[in-house]
Amino acid sequence: MKFFANIGAYILLMLRVFSKPQRWRIFYAKIVNEMMSLGMNSLPIVSIVSVFVGAVIAIQTAYNLQTAPDYMVGLATRDTLIVEFCSTMIALILSGKVGSNIASQIGTMRITEQVDALELMGVNSANFLICPKIIALVLLTPFITIFSIGIGIAGGFLGMAVTDYITVEQYVDGIQYGFTPYYITYSIIKSMVFSFILTSISAFWGYSVSRGALEVGRNSTRAMAASCVCILIFDLLLTELLL
């Protein structure tokens, strides 16, 4: 029963989150600030993970496909990064970094009665605190995804440059071979859905804190776990629907 109660509470919170803002000027300013704090500050970890995973995928593909045509290494690396890694895996990574940050930030505001103060002033605290975070990350996610794809392909390039499985020219030929533009659209759609999931669920658990500082840590962990599970479930659903 608690599971269904949480789902109902989440839906009711989202109805409050997406109500009309009271001051549009402040709302737009908060979206810009959240873009910097949630999106742009995540680029270093996205870069590091993408470049190394791109290199590993390229090297493992080259090792396991030594009897296949040389262009298959670049093609497999490119499609793996675009179709799955740069949307799903990056979302799982951000659920740990961004999601826990959102849950702990809102949870701390809850236990220090800052949320109650906003409500006393007549401010819709759910809309004021949560909606800019969701919009900011959903808008930035396509650019983060494309950035991750580029860095991952460059990582594969470096992986081939330091090994002797195939030449760099053969890897580049594989990157260009049989490209399907729809894969980019598919990856961006998934990443935007995942960003909404991890942001809204993390905000829900942070907003639900009620028993002191210890519960902030517990709810941050719950937020990360719930976000990861929902991302994987929707990854399966979107794959069935879009591919």
**57-71 CB burial, b ≥16 within 10 A, e <16:** bbbebbeebeeeebb
Of 199, 204, 16, 216, the C-alpha closest to 111 is 216
pLDDT at 4: 85
In order along the chain (243 residues), what is the average pLDDT of each group of 10 residues? 86 91 86 86 89 92 82 90 89 88 91 88 90 93 92 92 86 88 93 94 91 83 92 93 87
Q: For residue 20, what is the DSSP state? A: P
pLDDT at 113: 86
For residue 204, which amino acid is it? Answer: F
Total residues belonging to the chain:
243
pLDDT at 152: 93
pLDDT at 122: 85
The Cα angle at residue 237 between residues 50 and 226, in degrees rounded to 5: 70
pLDDT at 147: 94
pLDDT at 20: 85
Whether 107 contacts 211, CB under 8 Å: no
pLDDT at 232: 94
With 0-12 / 13-18 / 19 or more C-beta atoms within 10 angstroms meaning exposed / middle / buried, residue 162 is exposed
Whether 51 contacts 58, CB under 8 Å: no
Across 55-118, where does the E strand assignment appear? none
Of 89, 100, 79, the C-alpha closest to 48 is 89
Domain ranges of the chain: 22-242
pLDDT at 215: 84
